[in-house]
Amino acid sequence: MKILHVAAEVLPLVKTGGLADVVGALPAAQRALGHEVSVLVPGYPAILEGAGKLSPVEGFAVPGGRLLRGRLAGDVELLVIEQAARYARPGNPYVDASGQDWPDNLQRFVLLGRVAADLCLWDPQIDLLHAHDWHAGLAPAYLRADGTRCASCFTIHNLAFQGIYAYYEYAFTGLPEAFYRFDGLEFHGDWSFMKAALSYSDAITTVSPTYAREILRPDLGMQLDGVLNYRRADLRGILNGVDYAIWNPETDRALARTYGIDKLAAKTHNKRALQQDMGLAVAPARPLVGVVSRLTLQKGMDLVPGAIESLLAADQIQLALLGSGDRELEQAFAELAERHAGNCAVSLAYDESLAHRIVGGADAILVPSRFEPCGLTQLYGLRYGTLPIVRRTGGLADTVAGYRAQAKQPTGFVFETASSRALKRVLGRVVEVYRDGPTWRGLMQNAMRCEFGWDRAARDYDKLYARIRRG
Ligand code: ADP
Ligand code: GLC
């Protein structure tokens, strides 16, 4: 098949979260299954500068710009929309330096969807357009409006971000007025990119089976549970994978010492190096809990200070946190680190290398999310024998087997309620189990044996594509 992925981020060129990891890895896994795969992205400066050799695609028109072609790892074609007025801006793909949405995000992502659909008209060999998150959400609607043969699949990575705009801005889409309806783009008197995708894609997926069920409920459906229930026959949860070429303790060059399931002792060097790097006390007897996360309510980060404070004060645990996001949360963690110097270290940054060193050096990785479509850091933790501590929700529920709750092959710690109290209780259990060396090592081994590679996910997408592709 010929597959066109459409997204606003792709590793290693532009990343704000797990979306980039997925768009960087799934296409290569599909290529390995024998498909012809391209990825279309906006031409942000980081992409134009980082992509290596790019050459114009002759004969394909982009208003006010051009389409460029390059290569991604794994023999995947990279297609970049070069359009200075919309994309030639450094920094974050979605927000300006002060954290405000770019004022022309509507036009930026209309252009992405429009070019994607134009490509499918221009190249009738493309069998399948796979759009990711709201930024690419108009592409399936354009395909439908154009009557293009190409089938469409839309993946929800996060239902919380929908790209909602007012009716007076609808004309910018260039879509027919007839699509502005309750079973089209209309959303409570406004319209949204997400709704377009949910209404007009042939298949809808999200990134874990549990999240696929959760979003059918009013409490997690983000006001779209009605549409999702209407389309539930076409909705699937396909669990993300991990790119083990990037996240592998046996080869990870960011680590002080590489290690593996048969060389577990070497992990302690990474713990010591991390403690030293981040200014923590070198205290082998205390479990070191790592966090690598956006600091937001979704991630349950507001629960952490209240849950961990007394354990930090009692020298029972250490915390190494890397993250950025909400100003108030950043402030709360900075203050926590001040109060508990030596036991709590906080880096309010985005830092790939430190992310690897935390995943390799910590004993456990904490992901206490309120909702989590899939979550990748707990999967990295599993491979590194860094036991995930997670809330039972979405992809976290699908990937971590809790100690005690599921006695068979536990791989981490799971708690139910999104409260500091519940989190405190589970952290207490972590401290207890950590003292029992053989049990902890057993958990590490179980975790490290888990397989969450991309090959399985790529095959699941194959089956789905086969159902929706047109002759
Ligand atoms: P989400 O996409 O919702 O933020 P995921 O767990 O799917 O959550 O993916 C987050 C990705 O971003 C992971 O690859 C994680 O390592 C990375 N990440 C998050 N925060 C940081 C940070 N401050 N520095 C480096 N990497 C980070
Ligand atoms: C989103 C979700 C996260 C998921 C990622 C990749 O950012 O919040 O749970 O892992 O997309 O699919």
Q: Are 430 and 300 in a shared domain?
A: yes
Could you tell me the residue range of the domain that residue 206 belongs to?
Answer: 2-241+454-468
Taking the C-alpha atoms of residue 83 and residue 98, their distance in angstroms, rounded to an integer, is 23
Confidence of residue 99 (pLDDT cuts 50, 70, 90): confident
Q: Are 178 and 114 in a shared domain?
A: yes
Ligand 1 in contact with 377 (CB < 6 A)?
yes
CA 252 to ligand 2 centroid distance, Å: 23
Arithmetic mean of pLDDT over the chain: 97
Look at residue 407 and tell me whether its pLDDT is greater than 80: no
Model confidence pTM above 0.85: yes
Helix (H, G, I), strand (E, B) or coil at 444: helix
Ligand 2 in contact with 303 (CB < 6 A)?
no
Query: If you take atom 7 of ligand 2, which residue's CA is the nearest one?
Result: 18
CA 157 to ligand 2 centroid distance, Å: 5
Question: Cis (ω within 30 of 0) for the bond into 12?
Answer: yes
In the chain, the number of structural domains is 2
| Closest to 379 measured CA to CA, from 363, 355, 399, 351 | 399
57-75: average pLDDT: 97
Instruction: Please classify residue 341 by burial: count the beta carbons closer than 10 Å to its beta carbon, then call 0-12 exposed, 13-18 middle and 19+ buried.
Output: exposed
| Closest to 150 measured CA to CA, from 121, 173, 174 | 121
How far the first Cα of the chain sits from its last, in Å, is 11
Q: Are 288 and 391 in a shared domain?
A: yes
Q: Are 208 and 356 in a shared domain?
A: no
58-73: average pLDDT: 97
Q: Are 236 and 370 in a shared domain?
A: no
Q: Does residue 279 belong to any structural domain of this protein?
A: yes
CA 163 to ligand 2 centroid distance, Å: 17
Q: Are 143 and 271 in a shared domain?
A: no
Q: Are 320 and 418 in a shared domain?
A: yes
Q: Are 207 and 71 in a shared domain?
A: yes
**438-459 confidence digits (pLDDT tens):** 999 999 999 999 999 999 999 9
Ligand 2 in contact with 214 (CB < 6 A)?
no
CA 306 to ligand 2 centroid distance, Å: 26
Q: Which residues pair with 101 in a beta bridge?
A: 95
CA distances, 83 to each of 62, 149, 264, 287, 377 (Å):
8, 27, 50, 50, 34
CA 5 to ligand 2 centroid distance, Å: 17
Confidence of residue 97 (pLDDT cuts 50, 70, 90): confident
Q: Indicate which atom in ligand 1 lies nearest the CA of residue 323.
A: 23
Ligand 2 in contact with 376 (CB < 6 A)?
yes
Look at residue 337 and tell me whether its pLDDT is greater than 90: yes
Query: If you take atom 20 of ligand 1, which residue's CA is the nearest one?
Result: 293
Helix (H, G, I), strand (E, B) or coil at 92: coil
> E-strand spans in 18-175?
36-42, 55-56, 66-72, 76-82, 128-132, 151-156, 164-165
Q: Does residue 251 belong to any structural domain of this protein?
A: no
Name the residue with tokens 């529920």: 397
Q: Are 211 and 273 in a shared domain?
A: no
Look at residue 471 and tell me whether its pLDDT is greater than 90: no
**217-249 confidence digits (pLDDT tens):** 999 999 999 999 999 999 999 999 999 999 999
Q: Does residue 155 belong to any structural domain of this protein?
A: yes
Percent of the chain exceeding pLDDT 90 equals 98
Q: Are 228 and 235 in contact (CB under 8 A)?
A: yes
Choose one of 11, 14, 21 to mutate for the ligand 1 pocket test, by most ligand atoms within 8 angstroms of C-beta. Answer: 21
Q: Does residue 254 belong to any structural domain of this protein?
A: no
Look at residue 406 and tell me whether its pLDDT is greater than 70: no
Choose one of 15, 293, 326, 398 to mutate for the ligand 1 pocket test, by most ligand atoms within 8 angstroms of C-beta. Answer: 293
Give the CATH number, domain containing residue 36.
3.40.50.2000
Q: Does residue 202 belong to any structural domain of this protein?
A: yes
**29-55 confidence digits (pLDDT tens):** 999 999 999 999 999 999 999 999 999
Q: Does residue 247 belong to any structural domain of this protein?
A: no
